[in-house]
Homo-oligomer: A and B are copies of this chain.
Amino acid sequence: MQVEVRVKLKQQVLDPQGEAIRRVLAGLGYSEVEQVRVGKLMLLEVAGGDREAVRARVEEACREVLANTVIEEFEVRLQ
């Protein structure tokens, strides 16, 4: 089963990488880009046919290791 994990910084956490990208874009003329936030996208191939079981396991993996839940939030999307 294809599973997409999206990890983003929480809204209240500063994102200097995103701000750096915004400044580079502005310098290249893309001044209409007013904000950039950077996250991670992880595309997992997971064995197993029970969608809710797969979702629960991947969420557990997110909490344990894939995301830093102090500053990040994650979302699991089954394809």
Contact = CB atoms under 8 A, between A and B. Distances in A.
Interface residues of A, number: 33
A12 interface: no
Contact of A33 (B41, B61, B64): B61
A30 B60 CA distance: 10
Contact of A18 (B34, B38, B39, B42): B42
Contact of A61 (B7, B25, B43, B44): B25
Interface of A: 6-8, 18, 21, 24-25, 28, 30, 32-48, 54, 57-58, 61, 64-66
4 A-B pairs closest in CB distance: A39-B41, A35-B45, A32-B47, A37-B43
